[in-house]
Structure 1
Amino acid sequence: MKQNTQRSTATTTIAALLLGALSAFNAQAQEPAKMDHAGHDMSHASEPAAAPSADSTQVMTDGEVLRVNLAAGKVSIRHAAIANLNMPAMSMVFALKNPAELTKLKEGDKVRFHVERETGALLITQIEVVAQ
């Protein structure tokens, strides 16, 4: 009789542990993954966030200009994590809200910029060259 009670207690304990593990797994599976602009799961990203600018409503991101394309109105930037978009560090091409700002940029410039998602596209709304 004692052996049956011990077996029953062990079975109940194992069942409770399995149920707890399944509940935790199910809760995690139902949580929506954080996605970047290209649909990649970014929930694992652990890049440090960019520092906010003097205007705390706009998060500024550090970067380096790789190429300026005046004709296309775009700039290629190697950037740190973009906190307001939950995007990891990478290199990408951006359009500028004010394309005239491209004339103040050149390859190799260290910059701080703010980017927003507007009508499905990523658009730099503010950019400044940082003293080197």
Structure 2
Amino acid sequence: MKRVNTLAIVLALAGMPAAFAAGSMDGVDMKPSTGSKQAARPVAAEIKKIDVTAGKVTLKHDPIENLGMSAMTMAFPVKDRASLKHFKEGESVSVIFDNINGKPTVVEMQRK
């Protein structure tokens, strides 16, 4: 009988921290902060290839901090396909990237 009482007390005490934690979260917003996303900054890049038909540009770019990408050469879709006709392969550009429909995308590109 003594073991049953001891077990009941241990179980009751074990559940107390969970009860206090649940009660202490009242009024706390658990949504991620919108300020935690890094702002898009211009990234230095060189145009390696332009595919106006596909709406893509291949860039040798510096790290893209807001997307967590290291420096590399990669093809990206371009938000404004028509803007590609204003650029040439080999040009140095400043590019702003964003994640659109789950894909890293060029949202703005300017000559340096």
Shorter-chain TM-score range? 0.5 to 0.7
Deviations 1:51-99 (A, max 9, x none): xxxxxx5301000000001111110000000011121000000111111
Q: 1:127 aligns with which of 85, 109, 112?
A: 109
Equivalent residue number for residue 85 of structure 2: 103
Gaps of 5+ in 2: 1-38
Equivalent residue number for residue 64 of structure 2: 82
SS at match of 2:88: coil
Q: Distance in 2 between matches of 1:90 and 1:58?
A: 18
Letter in 1 for 2:75: V
Q: 1:115 aligns with which of 94, 97, 101?
A: 97
Measure how far apart 1:108 and its partner are. 0.4
Q: Under a length normalisation based on structure 1, what TM-score does the superposition of the two structures give?
A: 0.54
Normalized per residue, which structure has more strand? 2
Q: Distance in 2 between matches of 1:58 and 1:81?
A: 12
- Structure 1 runs (4+) deviating above 2 angstroms are none
Q: Distance in 2 between matches of 1:126 and 1:118?
A: 13
Letter in 2 for 1:100: A
Gaps of 5+ in 1: 1-56
What is the identity percentage for the equivalent residue pairs of Structure 1 and Structure 2?
Answer: 30
Aligned length: 74
Q: Distance in 2 between matches of 1:58 and 1:120?
A: 16
